[in-house]
Amino acid sequence: MKDLHRWLFPSWLLCYLMICKCSNIIVQNFEGENATLPCKYDSQYHGKCHICWMRGDIPNMGCGDEIIGGNGDTVVRRQSQKYQMTGEIQHGDVSLTILNITKQDSGKYGCRIHVPGWFNDEMHYVHLIVSDETDDFNGSSSVKKGESVNTSAVIVPVLLLLLAFVVIAALLIWKQKRKSRALVEIAQNSENSVIYNNSGSSLGLYNREMAVDNVYQIQTENEYEQWH
């Protein structure tokens, strides 16, 4: 069982952190447009959650370089009117809209949803690419205007295959342990049988000794009767 736990727990933790907790999305727009960076959560399941958007990496705790934040109902903090949350915040749509984007707005953005409980926060990354009107969207770039690509669609199948491999390995280990346990039980039963047979032999020997004594006693009595 220790080997089983050693396989399953790290694999479950890896899949849980990479599939359930974090996603990566790429959004590309032209300069001068409004760009919407998607971020949603299940408000019916979690309830209304505090959220924050920041530029750059999401820290282990807090909101880092926060640009806008909400309390589950409305926006309560913002760095500038340039940043808006125009979705239905009460229903879990906390997508960020950046008005009149420029190339300086390009980069990584993080959305942190403060889900109640320990280590339950959901984290989503969105990479914004801002292009000039003269840039060729039909060239080497595979992301069209306003289109988002979720890289978790590629990561998830790979992780599922990894999880399947770990489960199969765990089952093989469990079967091997079970087989070894069965062999031990068979060996123990064999030892018990030998002990029982030895006990039976001793009992038989004891009975034969008693029979010899009885015969001797009968012969002695007959001899006594002959003399009298």
Q: Residue 130 is part of a domain; what is its CATH number?
A: 2.60.40.10
Do residue 31 and residue 112 come from a single domain? yes
Q: Is residue 7 part of a domain?
A: no
Tally: H helices and E strands in the chain: 3, 10
Q: How far is CA 158 from CA 10, 21, 46, 148, in A?
A: 16, 16, 28, 21
The percent of residues above 90 in pLDDT, for the chain, comes to 43
Query: Does the structure show a pLDDT above 60 at 74?
Result: yes
The percent of residues above 70 in pLDDT, for the chain, comes to 62
- Amino acid sitting at position 208: R
Do residue 187 and residue 176 come from a single domain? yes
What integer is the mean pLDDT of 71-80?
Answer: 94
- Amino acid sitting at position 63: C
* Residue 72 near residue 81 (C-beta atoms within 8 A): no
Q: Is residue 75 part of a domain?
A: yes
Do residue 166 and residue 227 come from a single domain? yes
Do residue 145 and residue 176 come from a single domain? no
Assigned token pair, 147 = 């289109």
Residue ranges making up the domain that contains 205: 152-228
Query: Does the structure show a pLDDT above 90 at 15?
Result: no
Angle (CA) 179-180-184 rounded to 5° is 115
Do residue 219 and residue 112 come from a single domain? no
Per the structure, the count of domains in the chain is 2
Alpha-carbon gap, residue 185 to 181, rounded angstroms: 6
User: Mean pLDDT score of the chain, rounded to an integer?
Assistant: 75
pTM for the model stands at 0.55
Alpha-carbon gap, residue 1 to 4, rounded angstroms: 5
Q: Is residue 45 part of a domain?
A: yes
Please, which residues have CB within 8 angstroms of residue 64's CB and are 6 or more apart in sequence? 54, 55, 56, 57, 58, 110
